[in-house]
Amino acid sequence: MKTYWTLSIAFSIIALSCNSPSSKIEETVSSEDSKFLHPPLVSHIFTADPSAHVFNGKIYIYPSHDIESEVKEDDMGSHFDMKDYHVFSMERPGAEVIDHGPALKLEDIPWASRQLWAPDAAHKNGKYYLYFPAKDKEDIFSIGVAVSENPTGPFLAEPNPIKGTFSMDPAVFEDEDNSYYLYFGGIWGGQLQWFEDQQLVEGRKGPTDGIPAPEEKALMPFVAKLSDNMLELAEKPLEVLLLDQNGEPIKAGDNEKRFFEAAWVHKHNGKYYFSYSTGDTHFIAYGIGDSPYGPFTYQGNILEPVQGWTNHHSIVNFEGKWYLFYHDTELSGKTPLRNIKMTELNHLPDGTIQTINPMK
């Protein structure tokens, strides 16, 4: 299955697959009449949460695969009921986007029960690793890993989740010394608020059970270095501290700055950039630090709100230029049926990132 994307403002996307979802994605979308600045990369299925990487000189995208579900919508995200992962590739920005088909299915993950949410991928020593969240048989999120000889899969899942992980939204960062770090965490449906001292607290069931008071320090994501085999944590996860411009931890009530989900790390000119979604305020925000462990000082927003409740992104360098991948709901207009997009990203001379507006 294939779909096409171009950086030109005047374009059309033509669905090339006859297996369109039953909600019927529009076969042609014209940007000339659209309020959206960037066209969908994929139109024959619904995709979200794009994690992009450059492997072997080519861009590979590892998104989640949205499907229509009869599960009732709620603040725990139960209606995001994904059941498999597809891998996409493109030779360069503006080139044909190729769907390599299902790379991992829910029924092939021994420990998982439901909800294959946003994944990420890494490459080391000729093997490719797909990191993914799923709910276990007790309906608690953990992070799993699957392995392949090919960046497009198929991936073989390990029989158990990675020990010491919890919550969701894994992101893997490879540093220049060839060390790898796993970031994870998300509140509300991501269940991060159900844990204290990395232990599940009995009795917490709702999206706000365990959320700190507005004047208290916000819940923070976690990071741990990966072991040499890429299948285990090399250390106990550590809290990633996000600071405001005064050097104080961002407060739980500062909804336009506090971490909600969708961690991502990239490195530019010796500095580490930690970016994330603010969730209910709909920004992709970021901080800058001197270590992959943080702390990271808040700088502002990378991306303004898109159409649709959620957003989840990645940032990748390809041949000297930086690109932002994200999603919105242009094709469906429905929150759980999203489509992935990309656009160029610019670091300014002072090291900050130029804010991107996805709408005209």
What is residue 14's predicted lDDT score, i.e. its pLDDT? 31
In-domain check, residue 171: yes
Flag whether pLDDT at 139 surpasses 70. Answer: yes
In-domain check, residue 360: no
The Cα 298–Cα 241 span in angstroms is: 10
- Residue ranges making up the domain that contains 173: 2-345
The Cα 312–Cα 276 span in angstroms is: 8
In-domain check, residue 94: yes
Strand partners, 359: 36
Q: 311, 303 in Cβ contact below 8 A?
A: yes
What is residue 71's predicted lDDT score, i.e. its pLDDT? 87
Q: 339, 311 in Cβ contact below 8 A?
A: no
CA angle 18, 55, 8 (to 5 degrees): 55
User: Which residues does 15 contact at the CB level (< 8 Å), separation at least 6?
Assistant: 3, 25, 27, 43, 44
Flag whether pLDDT at 12 surpasses 80. Answer: no
What is residue 226's predicted lDDT score, i.e. its pLDDT? 98
Specify the number of domains making up the chain. Answer: 1
| pLDDT tens column, 14-46 | 333 333 333 333 333 444 578 999 999 999 999
Question: What would the two tokens of residue 305 be?
Answer: 């709100």
Catalytic residue among 49, 120, 169, 328: 49
Q: Note if 49 is an active site residue.
A: yes
Question: What would the two tokens of residue 254 be?
Answer: 């500062």
Catalytic residue among 81, 120, 169, 261: 261
In-domain check, residue 358: no
The Cα 211–Cα 245 span in angstroms is: 23
Model's pTM, two decimal places?
0.92
Residue 58 banded pLDDT, cuts 50, 70, 90: very high
Q: Closest by alpha carbon to 159, among 176, 136, 186, 181?
A: 136
CA angle 349, 300, 220 (to 5 degrees): 125
The Cα 331–Cα 339 span in angstroms is: 7
What is residue 73's predicted lDDT score, i.e. its pLDDT? 85
| pLDDT tens column, 208-230 | 999 999 999 999 999 999 999 99
Q: Note if 197 is an active site residue.
A: no
Q: 186, 176 in Cβ contact below 8 A?
A: no
Mean pLDDT value across residues 356-360: 96
Look at the alpha carbons of 312, 315, 318, 320 in this order and tell me if their dihedral is positive or negative: positive
The Cα 68–Cα 202 span in angstroms is: 32
Task: Quickly tell me which residue has 């159409």 as its tokens.
Answer: 307
H helix and E strand count, the chain? 0, 26
- Looking at per-residue pLDDT, the higher value among 71 and 282 belongs to 282
The Cα 85–Cα 48 span in angstroms is: 11
CATH at 141:
2.115.10.20
Under DSSP, the state recorded for 178 is S
In-domain check, residue 130: yes
In-domain check, residue 243: yes
In-domain check, residue 351: no
